[in-house]
A and B are shown apart, each in its own frame.
Chain A
C-alpha cells in the first residue's frame, strides 16, 4: 500500500534485462525542469541483490563514462573504478576515494516488477 502511495517518487528507468551483472549500463533520466536529460550509470550487484545509481559524469576526466568502469569492493564497500584514469568512487554515496572533496550524485534505486526504479 505504501509503495503505491509513494510511487510518484520512484521513476522507472529501464527493464532489469537491460542491466549487466557486476557491471554498468548508462540510462537517461528526464530532467525535472525540462532541460537536458541527466545521464545515470546503473550498476547491478546480484551477489548483494542491489542496484546502485550514480551520475554518469566523471568530473576528474570531464567525461560521461562512469557506466563503462569496472566495479569491485574495498574492504566490503562497493566502488566503481573509472575507465580512463581508474579513479575510485564509492557506489553507496558517490564519494571519490582519492579526493573526498569530490563526489558523484547518487540516487536510491530498486528492482521492482522486472523494472529498475530510481527515487527522484
Chain B
C-alpha cells in the first residue's frame, strides 16, 4: 500500500549522479552490479556516467594472451556494443579524467569537459612498473597490459626474431606465452632466484622452470639487468650484473604492477606510502563522496592484483550507492563489506598448471610442511598445515592442478584434515587420499571466488528448479568470471541433482522417449526400414529437426539405402538433403572424394575445368582434397555429371559420415617411411566410404613415427612400425583437442581392418547423436580398458555382429551422386522452383 507513495517520492527526487572513472574489468563489474540492483528495485533516479581512458569498452584482461591466438578485441569484450546505451548509461570511451574538484563535486576531462557528481567511483586500475634501468625507454621496450600494448608487441615482433620478458612472475609468464605465440625465440629474465617468487617456493619455482625450459622458453633467474644498449646482431643488448649479456629484438617489462592513483593523489585523497588509494571496508576513500575499487585501491595496507577481490569491492561499492538511491529501510541492514580476500590462484601458464593456496611459504608460526616431488613427471606438490595438523594453511602445486580444488576447499572452509595429511599430495597409486567429494563441503564453501558464489547458493538454485550447469550459471553467475571453477561447479550441480532425486532426461526429443543408442537397437533388431514405421511403433507426432536426422543417420548406418530414396528424403538435414554443403548465402560447396589424398594429373585438370566453367571458388581442405564453393542448387547435377564422368565419387563432406583418410607420402617416396601409408589410406578410405555415423569420422595413416599425417588427432589413426601398424583411437582436433589413445600395436593389414571394423561399428551402435569418438570415449564407463576388452577380447560376444554389420555397409556402398544422376525422380529435387525454369536467385530480394 506504500508502493504508490514511494514511487511518487522517488520520481520527485533529482537524479543522483554517479561517475565511474575507469572501464576495466572491475569498473564494468561495478556498473553491472549497480544496474542489476537498481533495476530489481525499480530505482528511477540514477544518472550513471562511465569514463574509460582506453578507446575500447571493458574487455577480459585475464585472457589477454588469447588476442594472439585468434580472439580479437570484440570477442574479448565483456558486454555487447549496445550495452551501455541500452541501459541508459552515458559512456565516454577514450576520455580521461584529469582533475577532481572535490569542493565543487565535479571532474574535468582531457577533452576539456566537466561533469558534476554526487558520488564518484575510482576504478583506475594499475599500470605496469618499469624499473629505471638505463635504456628502458629505448624503442621496442614495451609493457603488457592493454590491447594497444599487444598491438605494439605484435608490430615489433614482425621484424624480430628474439624477445625478452623482464620479470618471471605471473604476468611475465603470460607475456612470455604471448611472445612464443608470435614465434619469437623467447627468454624470461627474473631478478629473484626463482620464477613466480610470490606464489612459489624454491622447489616449485625450479619445477616450473624445468617445464617451461622444455617448452623452448629460456629462463634466466637471479639476473640483474644493468643497462640496455644497442645490440650487435639484434636491436638491443642487455648487460647483466654478472658480466654476461643477452641480445634481443624486443623487451617486454613485466616487473609488477603499481596502483594507478595519480588522479586521487593530485586531488588530495589519502594514498598509501607505496601507492594505492586508501579505502575502508565500505570502499570509501578519505572523501566520503568518493569510492575506490579494484587494483587502484589499498585496503589494510594491501593492493589486490586479482580480479576476484576487485569484483567483491565492486559489489560492496554498488551496495553502498544503492543505499543512497532508495528510501531508508528498503535494504536489509546487513550491508556487504570488503574484509580482504583470499589470494589463492590456479593458473595455466604456458600450458603448465600452477597453483598457490593461502600461506604458500609456511610463514605461520609452527606450520609444518609436506612435499612431494616427481622429477621425472616434473610434478611438485607442497602443503602447509597448522601445528596440530588439523588445518590446511597453504599449498603449492606445479605441473598438476588436479588437487587444487580439494586443497582450496580444505583451506578456505577449515575442513579438518585427514589423520595423515601427506595423503593429500601423494599419488593415488601409493595410497594417496581421494579427492574431497563435493558432499563433504559445507554450504558456506566458496565454489566461485570471482563472483563469490557458495555451495549453498548453488544447491538453492537447484532446489528452485535449475536442472543443468547452464541454468545454474545463469541463476547464480557462478563460473562466469575466470571460469576456473567450472569442473567443481559441475560436480556440485550433478551431486545436488542426484541428491534431490532428479533424473536427467536422456530422451532424444519429445517424439521419442529413447536415447540414440536405444533407437539404434530398436531399428536394427526390429528390422525397421523407414521413419514412418519407427514413429508408428515407438514414437509420436511428426518428428522434428532432432529425431529426423538422427533416425535418417541410423537407418543409413544399418541398411545403407540411398539418402534421397523417398521414405528418407524428408529426414535429411540441410547438407545431406542436397548432398552438398550449404554456405551462408544458400549456395553449396562440392567435394569429390580423393582417397588418401592421391590424385592423377588428369583428374586435377578436370576439377580445375569444372571450377572454371561453373565459376567456383576453390580451396584445398585440411583433409587433402579440394572444395569447390559457390554452386547454385540447379548447378549441382551438371557439376557432378562432369565429375562422375571423369571417375570421381562423392566425398560425403556433407554427411555425418566417413570423411577422409589423410596420409603422408610413405615408403614409396620418403626416405624415412617404413610402410606404404598412402596405399593403406586408400584401402581404408575405399572400405569405409559411405558409412554414416553419429558424427563425422576422420582417419589418417602415417608411414613412420614422425607422424606427418597427424594420425593421433584423428578418430582412428594408424602409424606404421617396422612390424606393421599401430592403431590410435578417439583423437580429435577442433575446439577441444584430444590425443588418440594407443589401442593396439604391430598389426598386420588384416588385423588392422578387423579391429577398425569392430571399433567403428561399436561407435556407430552406441554413441550419442553428434558425439565424436573423443567425447564417446571420455564418457564411456571403463574408458580405454573397457573398449579394448570389447573389441580385442570380445568380452560382450558381439565382435562377429559388429564385423558383419560393417561388411553389410561396405557391400551396399553406392556413390550417392552417381545413382542420383541416373534417377530423374531424385533429380527433380534440384529444381529451384517447381513451377518455373528460372535459376535459383539466392541474391535477389522480391
Contacts and interface: CB of A to CB of B under 8 A. Distances in A.
A73 B544 contact: yes
A92 B831 CA distance: 25
A28 B835 contact: yes
Interface stretch (B109-117, B276-284, B572-580, B787-795): B572-580
A38 to B, nearest CB: 5
B574 A68 contact: yes
B585 interface: yes
Contact of A27 (B584, B834, B841): B834
Interface in A40-80: 42, 45, 47-48, 57, 61, 63-65, 68-76, 78
A27 B846 CA distance: 13
B542 interface: yes
Given A18-B835, A63-B842, A68 B578 contact: yes
A19 B585 CA distance: 24
Contacts of A26: 832-834
A47 B835 CA distance: 24
A81 interface: yes
Contact of B838 (A20, A28, A76): A28
Nearest to B531: A22
A106 interface: no
A31 B831 CA distance: 21
Interface in B256-306: none
Given A20-B569, A70-B545, A25 B577 contact: no
Contact of A83 (B582, B828, B832): B582
Contacts of A9: none
A95 interface: no
Nearest to A48: B542
B545 A36 contact: no
A83 B834 CA distance: 19
Given A14-B834, A61-B584, A63-B585, A74 B510 contact: yes
Contacts of B543: 72-73
B128 interface: no
B835 A14 contact: yes
Contacts of A28: 833, 835-836, 838
Contacts of B586: 63-65, 84
A13 interface: yes
A102 interface: no
Contacts of B831: 25
B501 interface: no
Contact of B549 (A45, A61, A70): A70
Contacts of B547: 72
Contact of A23 (B549, B569, B832, B838): B569
Chain B CB count within 10 A is highest, among A35, A42, A72, for A72
B577 A37 contact: no
A75 B833 contact: no
A20 to B, nearest CB: 6
Nearest to B832: A26
Contacts of A35: 846
A27 B835 contact: yes
Contacts of B402: none
A22 B542 contact: yes
Contact of B570 (A22, A31, A38): A22
A21 interface: yes
B569 A57 contact: no
Contacts of B836: 27-28, 37
Contacts of B549: 70
Contacts of A64: 586, 841-842
A56 to B, nearest CB: 9
A78 B846 CA distance: 26
A20 B574 CA distance: 15
B835 A72 contact: no
Chain A CB count within 10 A is highest, among B582, B585, B833, B845, for B833
A76 B544 CA distance: 11
Interface in B529-584: 541-545, 547-549, 566, 569-570, 573-574, 577-578, 582, 584
Contact of A31 (B511, B545, B841, B846): B846
Nearest to B829: A20
B833 A71 contact: no
Contact of A84 (B542, B582, B841, B845): B582
Contacts of A45: 542
Nearest to A61: B584
A48 B569 CA distance: 18
B545 A81 contact: yes
Contacts of B573: 70
Interface string A1-23: 00000000000011000111111
Nearest to B543: A72
Chain B CB count within 10 A is highest, among A31, A36, A64, A70, for A70
A111 B30 CA distance: 62
B69 interface: no
A40 B570 CA distance: 18
B330 interface: no
B324 interface: no
B544 A74 contact: yes
A21 B566 contact: yes
A18 B578 CA distance: 17
A41 B629 CA distance: 25
A50 to B, nearest CB: 11
A38 B836 CA distance: 12
Given A18-B834, A25-B834, A72 B566 contact: no
A45 B541 CA distance: 12
Given A18-B834, A39-B846, A73 B542 contact: yes
10 contacts: A23-B569, A26-B832, A36-B846, A47-B542, A48-B542, A63-B585, A64-B586, A71-B570, A72-B543, A83-B582
Interface of B: 510-511, 541-545, 547-549, 566, 569-570, 573-574, 577-578, 582, 584-586, 828-829, 831-836, 838, 841-842, 844-846
Ranked nearest first, the 10 interchain pairs of A and B with the lowest CB-CB distance are: A72-B544, A22-B570, A18-B834, A81-B545, A23-B570, A83-B574, A73-B542, A70-B545, A14-B835, A36-B846
Given A18-B835, A39-B833, 8 more contacts: A18-B828, A23-B569, A26-B833, A27-B833, A37-B836, A57-B845, A72-B543, A81-B544
